[in-house]
Amino acid sequence: MHGKNIQIKYQQIYRQIVRKHRLLNLRQIGARTLRFLSITGAAVAAFLLINLLFDVSPVVRLTFAGLLILWSLVYSVMRIFPRVKEIFRPSVEEIFFTAKRLGMTEPSVQDALLNYLQIYQNRSSHTSPMLKNLALEQLYRRFSHFEFSLSLRAATLLRRGRLFLIELLAVLLIYLIFPETVGLALKKIVLPWKNIRTPVPVQIYNHTGNRTVLKNDPLVLAGEYRGEKPKKLFLVLEDTTGAETSSPEQTTQKITLPVPPRGKFEYRLEHVRTPFRYYFSAEINPNRFRNQVAQSTVGKVSVIERPVVRNLQLKIEPPSYTGLPEQLLTPNEGEITALAGSRVSLHVESDKQLSRAYLLFGDSTRVPLKIAGHTANGKFTVSSITHYSIHIFDSDSIANGQPVVYNVYPIPDEAPFAEFKQPGADVDLEEELSVPLFVEMRDDYGFKGLWLKGDLIRAGSSGDTSRFRQKLPYKILQRGKAFSQINWDLTTFFMVPDDYIRYRAEVWDNDAVHGPKIFQSRVFTIRLPSLLEMLEQTDKNQEERLEDVKDIVQNSKELKKKLEELRRELKKDSRMNWEQKQEAKEQLNKQQKALDRLSELNKELENTIHKLDRNKLLSPETLEKYFELQKMIQELATPELKAAMQKLQEALEKANPE
């Protein structure tokens, strides 16, 4: 066999071996890839199961992904890339190994194919070319009939492919049963860096959304859950006041809501004062959701400030008739206690520009106020017990919230009072037809007038009645106090015995708001006695005086004796002890009182005689009795008795006590 033929045969055999070598490596790549996929699939399936059972954090998922990538790289570099290289750039050693594997499939060939390649590759060695060609010829005869039909067993490939297919089918079956859950778990594995939460079996909806409310107004926040009934419901409020003022502080309030049997629920905030964000959340019963909550969308509540009364100033002007000064109340004091009829001036300052304002009273009466920028002014009159509130509206017609209610208490103008201090009782007229009157008056602010009113009853003549009215002068002592003093001349009434007058004082105050109030004093009577009453009274007085004179006469006789004894004792002995001196003084005092009483009786007798004579009731017999009584009085009060008493008094003063 010539060298050229050997080369041609070698190339043919080499190409067949390389073809088989590439096919073998391709099969190995497939088998190793299936093995990689089986192992990787088992790991992914296990991690998928873990994600289905537990809420795996992104850190763990990223770690698993990193290990999976590292495993893929190491396996590819160590087990797959070398086989790929052999397909495109087969190495001599691997070709020899493939030739040996091909020869081992035929007992008659054995190592002949490998030796053929090695001898041909070493032709340039020091071995004789003839011997090499001869050896090559002999080796060629051994495998010339060989078909190069290397049986590459597919059992391993099929087994590994079947295992991977089983894993894939199991995952697909679970996915078909639990598409959402498995899909989410796969998503977590594919996107390990994302914080993907397992969807909870309940959805929370915020029906209120974003709202704008007035400060201190109520607000109802409504929501709804759909799906599984949650274990707990919450309303979370986040105060955003700090965000508006660039403050880092933020207050969060979590309110537990009752879980309704049906989906809809709501919560009422009675007074909204500051802006806030809010949302609804729910806790779910299953253990795998214990670290998760269902949450609604976030709503935002904005608060519009209402106008506020920053300053309030009241001025009270009492009625002019009182003479009281104006009263300026303490700033921001709206409670009013003032005299009825007082005028109240009101000045209001607001924090906003005002469009209108009014006062609202307890009887729903409105008093409009005059607007001037941030201020409002108005007036009203104090008339009855009531209350009022101040209502202001800004330029957007927004009213102040919950206006303060102030009470109004009117002080009534008290009624006047009048009282007769003189005579202050019913009287009978004597010889003078006049009566002194003294009237005291009281009122809180002043008087309009004083009148003397009454009736003249002519019981002694015609029997008719006439009324009279007389204005009385009065003098002011001080504010609220006055008096009237007159001598009331009754001659103009032409009274006869048995006639009488019923009279009273009537005083009016100076109330210019509700009109004067009138007070009438107690009614008294002035009576002109009848002739019979005069006689009876005269007789009675006469008897009383007679008894008085008798008593005085008896006492005077005894006193005379004692005085005579004292005087004699003093002549004998000018010295007296203290008891004797006191007894002497006492006797003198008694005698002096008896003399004074006799003097009074004498005057009364003269008046009685004069009265009887004036009324033509003095008979000679009566006059004689009075003269006798008067004579008896004069005999008792002799000048000698008075002189003796004077001497005794002087002696007592000169007497030396023991």
How sure is the predictor about 327, in pLDDT bands with cuts at 50, 70 and 90?
Answer: very high
Q: What's the confidence (pLDDT) of residue 124?
A: 45
Residue 111 per-residue DSSP state:
T
Look at 17-31, 218-232, 314-328, 552-566 and tell me which has the smallest mean pLDDT: 552-566
Q: Is pLDDT of 385 > 90?
A: yes
Mean of pLDDT values over 257-279: 92
Look at 163-177, 235-249, 418-432, 627-641 and tell me which has the smallest mean pLDDT: 627-641
Q: Long-range contact list for 558-564, CB < 8 A, 24+ apart? A: 559/587, 559/590, 559/591, 559/594, 560/641, 562/587, 563/587, 563/588, 563/591, 563/644, 563/645, 563/648
Burial 587-602 (b: 16+ CB within 10 A, else e): bbeebeebbebbeebb
Q: What's the confidence (pLDDT) of residue 619?
A: 55
Domain closes at, from 304, 338, 353 = 304
pLDDT tens profile 495-509: 887 888 999 999 999
Spatial separation of the C-alpha atoms in residues 455 and 463, rounded to whole Å: 12
Number of DSSP helices (H) and strands (E) in the chain, helices first: 13, 31
CATH of residue 228: 2.60.40.10
Bridging pattern class, strands 524-527 and 427-428: parallel
Domain closes at, from 241, 272, 304 = 304
Q: Do 429 and 492 lie in a common domain?
A: yes
The answer to whether the beta carbons of residues 376 and 350 sit under 8 Å apart is yes
Mean pLDDT over each residue of the chain, to the nearest integer: 79
The contacts of residue 629 (CB under 8 Å, 6+ apart) are 542, 545, 546, 549, 605
Q: What's the confidence (pLDDT) of residue 68?
A: 86
Spatial separation of the C-alpha atoms in residues 520 and 441, rounded to whole Å: 11
pLDDT tens profile 466-506: 899 999 999 999 888 999 999 999 888 888 878 889 999 99
Spatial separation of the C-alpha atoms in residues 504 and 455, rounded to whole Å: 9
| Tally of domains within the chain | 5
Mean of pLDDT values over 4-27: 76
Determine how many CB atoms are found less than 10 A away from the CB of residue 84.
14
Q: What's the confidence (pLDDT) of residue 450?
A: 94
Q: Do 393 and 451 lie in a common domain?
A: no
Q: Which residue stretches of 223-345 are H helix?
A: 241-244
* Cα 141-143-144 angle, rounded to 5 deg: 65
Largest CA distance in the chain: 222
Q: Do 212 and 256 lie in a common domain?
A: yes
Q: Do 24 and 155 lie in a common domain?
A: yes
The answer to whether the beta carbons of residues 143 and 109 sit under 8 Å apart is yes
Partnered with residue 282 across adjacent β-strands are 233, 294
Q: Which residue range forms the structural domain that includes residue 72?
A: 3-174
User: For 543, what's the count of Cα atoms within 13 Å in the CB-facing half-sphere?
Assistant: 5
Q: Do 573 and 648 lie in a common domain?
A: yes
41-50, 133-142, 322-331, range with greatest mean pLDDT: 322-331
Residue 191 lies in a domain: no
pLDDT tens profile 523-551: 999 988 765 665 555 556 666 655 666 66
Mean of pLDDT values over 202-208: 92
Identify which has the larger pLDDT, 268 or 540.
Answer: 268
Q: Do 162 and 211 lie in a common domain?
A: no
